[in-house]
Amino acid sequence: MTVHTGAPEFSIITAASGLRAGAVSVPDLVEQSLAQADAIADLAAFTEIYADHAKALARAHQALIANGCDLGPLHGIPVAVKANVAVAGKRMTAGSKLLADRIADTDADATQALKRQGAIIIGATNMHEFAWGGTTANPHFGQCRNPWDRNRIPAGSSGGSGAAVAARAVFAALGTDTGGSIRLPASMNGLTGLRPGVGRLSTGGIFPLAWSMDTVGPIAPSAADCAIVHAALCGESVPAGFAAAGRPASLSGKRIAVPTPYAFAALQTDVETTFRDALRQFEALGAVVDPVSLADLDIAVDAQVIVDAAEPSAIHADWVRTRPEDYGDDVRILLEAGLAFTAEEYIQAQRYRTLLRRQFERIFIDHDLVLTPTLPFTAPLIGQATVMLGGREESTLTGNMRFTCLASLAALPAASFPIGFDTAGLPVGGQLIGPHDSEMAILAAVHAFQGASDHHLRRPSAGQSLTSATTG
């Protein structure tokens, strides 16, 4: 595995600066992006590429920039959207056979927001079918592969978005997150991914998974890039602090809570070591890191599974009964299981969510953020169903949810970001959770961490193409 480090930095800020300085053109960036997407075809990161449309848009937006029209920091930047996010006039498959011929009449609200800023959407990214899974083993569009090791998964369900950004085919990609589907690919692909709080952004025009937990957000190389995309999705300005370079920002006065012993239990050795290093880095930046207790976390995954199966099963009930053969086996089995949950079980899961939210509210009285690993393990091999954790076998499905389900169940914003690598060179992610409407505060803390580390600058050998285009 070849790993490249350091400058030149691959970022939206660098590319946007190059465009405005005339060092690179929008057609240059788009051609490079399309070429890289073609070069990584074996990763199955994309379900569709909008090559002709993207090239036409590139010419039009280059003319706007040349005439002094600046739509914002995403103007002229190649991006991608997950295949369950509608793009007008394009197929919106949600990674399924059932929707293979559906053409979107209108843009999703998130797509519209990107277009208003002048972003160039070059294609739709692969995903776990209907967003119900964490491997992006898609029976209709192919197994998406991890750019750090093609024999491993990129996580899911937004695995194609993670792989496309990690391989440097696009500067950012939209994902959706219900139980962790932005944060898991961000972790396994060495990226930063933001799950906004439920209700923070419109999910209009996005095929739903579980409506009480669904969100849409960015996967990108850094917190600064995520802040730019999130601001565009919100229709807000990017806070000035994300453009700062050089000396890392201080986190003095910030208090970070770590659920203990939950955050340290049954982790792969390299994940635990890297996580403890991250705790020390936050302390070095001036933050106070405190152990805190959260009750009944041992049933959090069970509650997540119930909600994450019952709500999709209600959406898919007719298709599951009339067209079961059109689903992949794993998704069909999960949806059928969801139909078997009782109203009492669903209500008890929702009651647990309320109790968990109240616990977080108490923590946020005197703490700013909560920190955990994103995952207890690094990227498993394709087809690997279990992993050894704490001396026993654990399902990768439930292991995927262990930490990400906390923010999902509580409907809170959270971000995953690179905190290091295991001995095999695979990325390890950390997760910061914040109170409602704290998305930018979460990203600011990650930005400070990234100002004092270089984990987010490392990239797999699959991701080299766009660097020259951003630097002229």
pLDDT given at position 461:
80
Out of 3.30.360.10, 3.90.1300.10, 1.10.10.350, 3.40.50.10440, the CATH code matching 3-298+345-381+393-471 is: 3.90.1300.10
**Is the pTM of the predicted complex or chain greater than 0.85?**
yes
Find all residues with CB under 8 Å of 122, minimum gap 6, and list them: 30, 33, 34, 37, 49, 50, 51, 54, 78, 79, 80, 169, 170
pLDDT given at position 5:
38
Give catalytic residue positions: 82, 157, 181
Using DSSP, how many helices (H) and how many strands (E) does the chain show? 14, 17
Q: Where do the domains of the chain lie?
A: 3-298+345-381+393-471
d(CA 101, CA 196): 30
pLDDT given at position 463:
54
CA nearest 135: which of 188, 78, 64?
188
CA angle 305, 43, 6 (to 5 degrees): 100
pLDDT mean values, one per 10 residues, the chain (472 residues): 45 95 97 98 99 99 97 98 99 98 98 99 99 98 98 99 98 99 99 98 98 98 98 96 71 98 98 99 98 97 97 96 97 95 98 98 99 99 96 94 99 99 98 99 97 94 52 40
Q: How many CB atoms lie within 10 A of CB 262?
A: 18
d(CA 70, CA 29): 17
Q: Where are the alpha helices (DSSP H) in 40-119?
A: 51-66, 109-116
pLDDT given at position 245:
54
* Backbone phi, psi, residue 226, to 5°: -60, -40
pLDDT given at position 244:
60
DSSP 294-350: -TTGGGHHHHHHHHHHHHHHHHHHHHHHH-GGGS-HHHHHHHHHHHH--HHHHHHHH
pLDDT given at position 243:
76
3-state secondary structure of 131: helix
- Whose tokens are 């060092």? That residue is 23
